[in-house]
Amino acid sequence: MYHGLQHPDRLGADAVAAFLSSLAMRDGVSASTQNQALCALAFLYQHVIGRPLGSLPAITRVRTPPRLPVVLTRQEVRLLFEHLSGIPHLVASLLYGSGLRLLEGMSLRVKDVELERLEIVVRQGKGRKDRVTMLPSSAVPALRRQLEVARQLHDADLTRGFGRVVLPDALDAKYPNAGRSWPWQFVFPAARICRDTRWGPPSRFHLHETVVQRAVTSAAGATKIPKRVSCHTLRHSFATHLLEDGYDIRTVQELLGHSDVSTTMIYTHVLNRGGLGVRSPADRL
């Protein structure tokens, strides 16, 4: 062990900082592993030992190198969708067709889906920012059916004296009846009512993200796509395919909800045009 099995109560902030730096310099761990160790030690000292660490000396931090996103070809997206059905297929269609993050798709509310205008309003996305993105017309029929299923479930909940959903921030106090209204219901409601007292009265939350994650992982395995496919891969593919189709990078930036265009520019490095869009001289021979 780094400090010779000494009890943590005998060690202070300097010893903790030295240990965390050794993880980077000696053990070569990832940035997330070093951060996890820091959080665990902060919890140990504050809640177990009863002596908060306070400010730590300078720590040698692990630098996370930039990674290129995994992007599927259009044919691979088709193959993936052929092995999906039901709600996972619909959610995957929104991730790829609208550029949503998984949690953004699962937490969609009825009022934020504009079927006629083919728009989706994303509320409090990453960084608590709102944005508007496109709704693929190919997903509209399945989305209409899903909304009808959700409406029937909500009506049945109201009949049984339930029908409440959790509202963001403090809207429950400002609009006491909004939680039972149809516009605030989730498009993808959970199968069971949540009775956790932390969320107040019994309410129906949205479907858990793992339902879609497992379906996408299983579908990717069935297609034998030689890539590490996740739900977020569909969002990467959305951005890359829009750039391939010639859409302006600023437009793609707004659809994705990126604060800085430099974040969006990473997709220019994975366009289907060879390295950085340059034609290889070997192809001219």
Give the residue numbers annotated as catalytic, written as ranges: 101, 126, 232, 235, 258, 267
Sign of CA dihedral 257, 142, 186, 195: negative
Q: How far is it, in rounded angstroms, from Cα 44 to Cα 185?
A: 40
Q: How far is it, in rounded angstroms, from Cα 75 to Cα 144?
A: 26
Which amino acid type is present at position 4?
G
Q: How far is it, in rounded angstroms, from Cα 110 to Cα 163?
A: 14
Q: Burial letters for 221-253: b for 16+ Cβ neighbours within 10 Å, e otherwise? A: eebebeeebebebbbbbbbbbbbeeeeebeebb
What lies within 8 Å, CB to CB, of 10 at 6+ separation is none
Token digits of residue 111: 């009022």
Beta bridge partners of 121: 132
Please state, in angstroms and as integers, the Cα–Cα distance from residue 254 to each residue in 1, 23, 36, following that order: 49, 38, 32
CA–centroid distance for 27 within its chain = 30
Q: How far is it, in rounded angstroms, from Cα 97 to Cα 138?
A: 9
Q: How does DSSP classify residue 194?
A: B
Contact 242, 40 (CB under 8 A): no
CA–centroid distance for 38 within its chain = 24
Token digits of residue 55: 């400010």
